[in-house]
Structure 1
Amino acid sequence: MLNQLTVQHFAIVQFLELEFSHGMTTITGETGAGKSIAIDALGLCLGSRADANMVRVGTDKAEISARFTLTDTPHAKQWLVNNDLESDDDINDCLLRRTVNKEGRSRAYINGTPVPVSQLKSLGQLLVNIHGQHAHQSLLKSEIQLSIIDEYAAHHQLLQKVKDTYQGWHFLNKQLKQQQLNQQEKQARKQLLEYQIQELDEFTLAEEEFEQIEVEHKRLANGGALLESCQLTLNHLSEGEQTDALTLLRSSISALEAQVENDKNLENIIATLQESLIQIEDASYELRNFSENLELDPEKFQQLESRMSDALSLARKHQVQPEFLYSHHQKLSKEFKQLNSGELQIEQLSADLEVAENSYYQHAKKLSHSRNRYAKELSKKITSSIQKLNMQDGIFHIQLVENSHHALSPLGLDNIEFQVKTNAGQTLQSLAKVASGGELSRIGLAMQVIISQRVATPTLIFDEVDVGISGATAAVVGKLLRSLGEQTQIFCVTHLPQVAGNGHQQMFVAKQSNGKNTNTTMVKLSEKDRLNELARLVGGDNITAHTLANAKELLVNTVS
């Protein structure tokens, strides 16, 4: 329940500090005085859009705070606990605050903690439900009609299931269409890859084979020169006809060994020469072995020449270096497999989409069944209510048609139409075709009151929802709202004395101007002032004994 509202520098309000109580509070005032300004301020405090024009001219910022008691609001209390925003002093107390500077930037607070506006709005929906003066016009929209029956039937969880399964289906459907769209391009690429891979498969180049071909080709191409150089070197080292390095080295070692007794320093030199002798012998052995095993195979050379030429030709064709031809082959094969897997993905997505669609229809049909059940109940209640609102022959009917072939929607499968018969002898027709402005207003008000009785919001605000209503109908509306006010806190901005007189308390809005500044105020009326205000609403500014008597009768009827 809203206990207190403080407004500073908001629009044409300089300062307001209002205390509220349980029951029905009516708000009246002259046209243009700003009867809805406190509600607009409260709406800002509950997370509505901020604007620089909300800041009073000549001031830096507007500030609104609203204090609520949460004794009978368990959902709001739990929300605060879940978000770690409960009051340190009292779990049953909640303070919301919103500031807007002259540049239009705003800040939001819950129990003194800065929060995003989205959190303020989320909590606000659990605390206050505002019905605007033009709300009945939206009754002509099918999505609003569905939301009314869903709110009445408390379809929150069921509707969320439908929305969730729709989102799952929508995501898969989007993926499938994208895959199918790409499939033609993939098919062309697949045909090209198939030809290229077949060509490389037939060539069957092994990993690092080209490098090996290069080495062997070079060796065979230079085989004669290699053999000649090896033989010449062997002659120099060990196989010379007259002399060679080994012969000279052995002779040198023998000569020095003969002199070692004369000088022991020759021993180190002799050891070094002996090591050289061993190394030359080893080199000669390896060189001889190399020469004997050196192949000079013209046929093999021709095979290598052909293989290398084909590899170079393929490399040029595929625009890669020949040493990368093998890895290029593997890359194309991998891409080809991935393109094949795309077809499998389409098959899998199609199967997943069918499962998601079945899940959607399962929940959507449950929603449709429940909507039909509650549509009958709500139709009867609205019919009864509008007949009390001076539409004695009025009949209201909610027409629901489930279309299983309808395009999937997050709101379900139902086509809805609010139908009404306003006079005897007529047939039911669409609300948009039959109802006048006043009739539409009465039907909308009846819906709001009925739905409000089922919604657990502790504070309800009706902002001039009685537009287009007068006379005896207005009196019924007043009693209807007062009856609702016995169960919960209600604020009703009105211009009708029959409605204003039914309030448990009444507040008056006035606007003053000194030629330079304008200021709007709101005060709670005493019983005497309330009589005068009701008399003004009955007869205008000229208050007479007759209008006072009428006003007193309204209040007496209210109390009795």
Structure 2
Amino acid sequence: MLIGLEIKNFAIVSNLSTEWQSGMTAITGETGAGKSIAIDALSLCLGERAEASAVRPNTDKAEVCAQFDLSDLPLAQAFLEHHMLGNADNECLLRRVVCKNGRSKSYINGSAVTAAQLKELGQYLISIHGQHAHQHLLKAEHQLQLLDAYAGHHHLVNSVSQNYKQFASLQKEFKHLEQQQLQQAAQKQLLEYQVAELDEFALQEGEFEQIEAEHYKLSNSQTILEACQRELQHLYESDEQNACSLLQHSAQQFTELAQYDESLASVAALLAEAAVQVEEASREVRSYTEQADLDPARLVEVENRLGGAMDLARKHHIKPQALVEFHQSISQELESISNNNSRLEQLESEIENALVHYQQASEQLSQSRKEYANTLNTLISESMANLSMENGVFEIALIQETDRVPNNLGYDNVSFLVSTNPGQPLQPLAKVASGGELSRISLAIQVIIAQKVTTPTLIFDEVDVGISGPTASAVGKLLRQLGKSTQVICVTHLPQVASSAHQQFFVAKEIAQGETFTNMLPLNKDGRVNEIARLLGGDNVSKTAKANAKELIKAHA
């Protein structure tokens, strides 16, 4: 329930602070005084779009604070608890600040939040019904929303929506794969040829590097063999002079010299060791030359293998070393394309099952809608009679379009039908209802649905436009009755509606020093009599008008 509202530098309001009570509260005032400004400020505080034009001229920022009692609002409490924004006293303070550059800041209980969070919380606090709400009543999608809101079968609506999303997701995947398959038909043929060619060549991991090294060795084998034989002569086998015999001779000479100087013994030892190393190396070279096999056939084989790998690499515009990885990659791509066929078959079955689940959920939702539509038909027809439409008949026509393309609302087509005169057939609202009748039907529907939907504060912004006389009195009674179960705030210009309220605010506009100011004042008993008398008779309030005003207020006491 709204318990406090403070407005600073918003539109033509300089500074306004109001306290609000339970029951029905009427807001009245002269035309152009700004009766709806409090509603506009509340809308801003509940997350509506902020604009720089909302800031009062010659000021830096506008600020709106709204205080709510959450004692009987478990959904609002749960929201605050979930976002760690609650406090211990079951009250909630919403604050919105709009700077003159159009930027805004939002707060819940002193913590900075987004405008979207304000809006989400706002749906649990207030429901605003504007003066043009009856125009929305002509739209089929809005009619369906009203029926579902009254029925309260959110689980059924959610079930249809989720089953539709599953069905749509599977269909999207199927169409994507089907299109992909068409595009990949030529690609598949090319991949099959490429994979078959690479499969036949069967290059192994690291094989190219191995045959490249072997080819280099084989192509230079004659040069290697000749060089080894020549160096073997120099190292050991030459009869004239070789490195081994020279080292042995030098080692012997230094051994003899060491008799005269012991420090040369180490030189002799090193030379002897070197001679041994040369002799060992010579044996290794001899063994290599003896085992060397000049194999022209193997060279041809390796050259063919190496050339084949390089030809394939050039064909695919890659390095030969990357052939194995490329082979694996296109094999996986070909396998993926082949797997699409089996996935498409699987998807056909899944789509069929998803459609069955969607149809079952839609059927359950449709049956529930029919049940609650029958209840609403009776209630709204009775309410129309109370609103001076004694012969009015209201009916919600639900047509099941089972061949309709699946959607997130099911396959019901809804139409609000009405007959306002005896013998007149039921027809869509737009065809038979006048502006005043449409406004009354809209109000009747809003009040009935509000009694079912748990919204603590209902705001009606001049929803009584286009009615007068006994009808206005009936509207007033209807809103006052609603005020017994929930807080009702009504902006009105009708004395019959204003007199029905439990309390009343008067909005006045004044001009001082070239500036316009709007104030909203709570009215006491005498103030209410004078204001309702003004609504009855105009600015010149007569004794008769006052007497009539007292009678109107007394009738609701």
Q: Bin the TM-score by the shorter chain.
A: over 0.9
Match of 1:166 in 2: 164
The answer as to 2:377 corresponding to 1:375 is no
Of 361, 364, 367, which residue of structure 2 is paired with 1:363?
361
Cα deviation, 1:342-385, whole Å, max 9, x if unaligned, reads: 44444455444444444433333322221111111111111111
Deviation at 1:538, TM superposition (A): 2.1
Note the C-alpha offset of 1:241: 4.6
Match of 1:402 among 400, 403, 426: 400
1:54-93 to 2 correspondences below 5 Å: 54-88=54-88, 90-91=89-90, 93=91
Provide the residue aligned with 1:4 in structure 2. 4
Matched, 1:23 2:23: yes
Q: Residue 508 of structure 1 corresponds to which residue in structure 2?
A: 506
Aligned with 1:481 (options 462, 470, 479) = 479
Closer, same or farther: CA 428–279 of 1 in aligned 2, 3 Å: same
Question: Would you say the 8 A contact 1:398–1:418 is kept in 2?
Answer: yes
Cα gap change, 1:382 to 1:205, in 2 (>3 Å): same
Q: CA deviation at 1:133?
A: 0.6
Indicate the larger mover: 430-439 or 514-523: 514-523
Distance in structure 2 (CA, Å) of the matches to 1:248 and 1:526: 134
Distance 1:295 1:448, change over 3 A: same
Selected match of 1:108 from 89, 101, 106: 106
Q: How far, CA to CA, are the matches of 1:290 and 1:494 in structure 2?
A: 114
Aligned to 1:191: 189
Contact kept in structure 1, 2:384 and 2:440, CA below 8 Å: yes
Bigger CA drift: 138-147 or 198-207?
A: 198-207
Question: 1:466 deviation in Å?
Answer: 0.9
1:547 aligns with 2:530: no
For residues 542 and 215 of structure 1, what CA distance do their matches in structure 2 show?
A: 114
Superposition map of 1:108-257 within 5 A: 108-254=106-252
**Contact between 2:252 and 2:268, CA under 8 Å: does it hold in 1?**
no
Residue type of the alignment partner of 1:67:
Q
Distance apart, 1:481 and its partner CA: 1.2
Structure-2 change in CA distance of 1:199 and 1:27 (3 Å): same
2:440 counterpart residue number: 442
5+ residue gaps in structure 2?
none
Tell me by how many angstroms 1:453 deviates: 0.9
Shift of 1:252: 4.7
SS at match of 2:294: coil
Query: What is residue 426 of structure 1 aligned with on the other side?
Result: 424
| Counterparts of 2:52 and 2:251, CA distance in 1 | 110
Q: Name the CA shift for 1:199/1:258 in 2 (closer, same or farther; >3 Å).
A: same
Q: What code does the residue aligned with 2:304 have?
A: S
Measured in 1, the distance between the counterparts of 2:399 and 2:155 equals 22
1:404: how far off? 2.8
- Paired residue for 1:455? 453
Q: What's the RMSD between the two structures over aligned residues? A: 2.3
For residue 310 of structure 2, what is the aligned residue in structure 1?
Answer: 312
User: Displacement, 1:475?
Assistant: 1.4
- How far did residue 198 of structure 1 move? 1.3
**Which ranges in structure 1 are unaligned for 5 or more consecutive residues?**
none
CA contact (8 A) 1:420 1:428 kept: yes
Cα distance in 2, alignment partners of residues 138 and 29 from structure 1? 27
Deviates more, 1:436-445 or 1:495-504: 495-504
Q: Report the Cα distance in structure 2 between the residues aligned to 1:63 and 1:263, rounded to whole angstroms.
A: 109
Whichever residue aligns with residue 58 of structure 2, its letter is: G
CA contact 1:220–1:295 (8 Å) conserved in 2: no
Distance 1:72 1:314, change over 3 A: closer
Compute the displacement of 1:23 (Å): 1.5
Work out whether residues 160 and 362 of structure 2, in 8 Å CA contact, stay in contact via their aligned partners in 1. yes
Q: How many Å separate the matches in 2 of 1:100 and 1:500?
A: 32
Deviation at 1:149, TM superposition (A): 0.8
Partner of 1:493 in structure 2?
491
State the Cα distance separating 1:219 from its structure 2 match.
3.0
**Which deviates further from its counterpart, 195-204 or 258-267?**
258-267
Cα distance in 2 between the residues matched to 1:516 and 1:479: 42
| Closer/same/farther in 2, CA of residues 77 and 284 from structure 1, 3 Å limit | closer
* Matching of residues 384-395 of structure 1 within 5 Å: 384-395=382-393
Aligned residues: 557
State the TM-score, normalized to the length of structure 2: 0.93
Distance across 2 between alignment mates of 1:215 and 1:112: 76
User: Greater CA deviation, 30-39 or 511-520?
Assistant: 511-520
In the alignment, the residues of structure 2 paired with residue 111 and residue 215 of structure 1 have an alpha-carbon distance, to the nearest angstrom, of 77
Secondary structure of 1:520's aligned partner: strand
Q: Distance in 1 between matches of 2:64 and 2:324?
A: 74
Deviation at 1:160, TM superposition (A): 2.8
Q: Which residue of 2 aligns with 1:269?
A: 267
Deviates more, 1:196-205 or 1:330-339: 330-339
Distance of 2:521 and 2:250 partners within structure 1? 132
Mark the CA change 1:213 to 1:134 in structure 2 (over 3 Å): closer, same or farther: same
Does the aligned pair in 1 maintain the 2:95–2:108 contact within 8 Å? yes
**Quick one: structure 1 residues 83 and 215, their matched pair in 2 at CA, closer, same or farther if it must change by over 3 Å?**
closer
Worse-superposed segment, 278-287 or 264-273: 264-273
Give CA deviations for 1:23-59 in whole Å, capped at 9, x if unaligned.
2112222211211111212222222222211111122
Letter in 2 for 1:387: A
Give me the identity figure in percent.
Answer: 51
Relative to structure 1, the CA distance from residue 406 to residue 292 in structure 2 (aligned partners, 3 Å threshold; closer, same or farther) is same
Q: State the secondary structure of the residue aligned to 1:85.
A: coil
For 2:556, what is the secondary structure of its paired residue?
A: helix
Alignment of 1:508-547 (within 5 A): 508-514=506-512, 516-547=514-545
Alignment check: 8 A CA contact 2:507 2:521 kept: yes
Deviations 1:407-465 (A, max 9, x none): 22222222111111111112111112221111111110110110111122221111111
